[in-house]
C-alpha cells in the first residue's frame, strides 16, 4: 500500500471516529449518565468544542431540540472531503 493511500485512510478514520464520538454523546444525552465517569467525561470534553461552535451558529430550538450534532456531522463530512482532496493533491504533487 502506498503512503498516500495510508495517509488518506488515517485522515478518513480520524474524522469517522470523531463522528462516532458525537453520536455516542447524542445517545448519552438520552440516558443522562454521571458526567464524572471517565469515558463519559472524555466524550463530553472532546466533542464540546465543535458542538459549542455549532450551537452558536444554530441555537437550540424553542422546543428544546439541539440540532448542533446534526450540523457538526454535516460539517465534519464536508471537512473530511476537503481535507482528503487537499492531502491527495499535495501527496500527488510531491510524488509520494
Q: How many domains does the chain have?
A: 1
Question: Which residues fall within 8 angstroms of residue 44, CB to CB, at 6 or more apart?
Answer: 25, 35
C-alpha cell at 49: 468544542
Domain containing 20 equals: 3-94
Mean pLDDT of the chain: 90
pTM (predicted TM-score)? 0.86
> How do residues 23-41 score in pLDDT, each as one tens digit?
999 999 889 887 788 999 9
As a whole number of angstroms, the distance between CA 57 and CA 51 comes to 10
What is the rounded (10 degree) CA torsion for 43, 44, 45, 51? 110
**Residue 1 pLDDT class (50, 70, 90 cuts):** low
Amino acid at each position: 500500500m502506498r503512503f498516500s493511500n495510508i495517509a488518506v485512510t488515517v485522515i478518513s478514520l480520524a474524522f469517522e471516529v470523531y463522528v462516532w464520538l458525537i453520536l455516542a454523546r447524542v445517545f448519552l444525552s438520552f440516558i443522562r449518565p454521571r458526567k464524572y465517569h471517565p469515558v463519559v467525561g472524555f466524550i463530553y470534553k472532546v466533542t464540546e468544542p465543535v458542538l459549542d461552535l455549532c450551537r452558536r451558529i444554530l441555537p437550540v430550538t424553542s422546543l428544546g431540540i439541539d440540532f448542533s450534532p446534526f450540523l457538526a456531522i454535516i460539517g465534519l463530512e464536508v471537512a473530511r472531503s476537503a481535507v482528503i482532496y487537499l492531502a491527495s493533491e499535495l501527496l500527488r504533487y510531491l510524488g509520494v
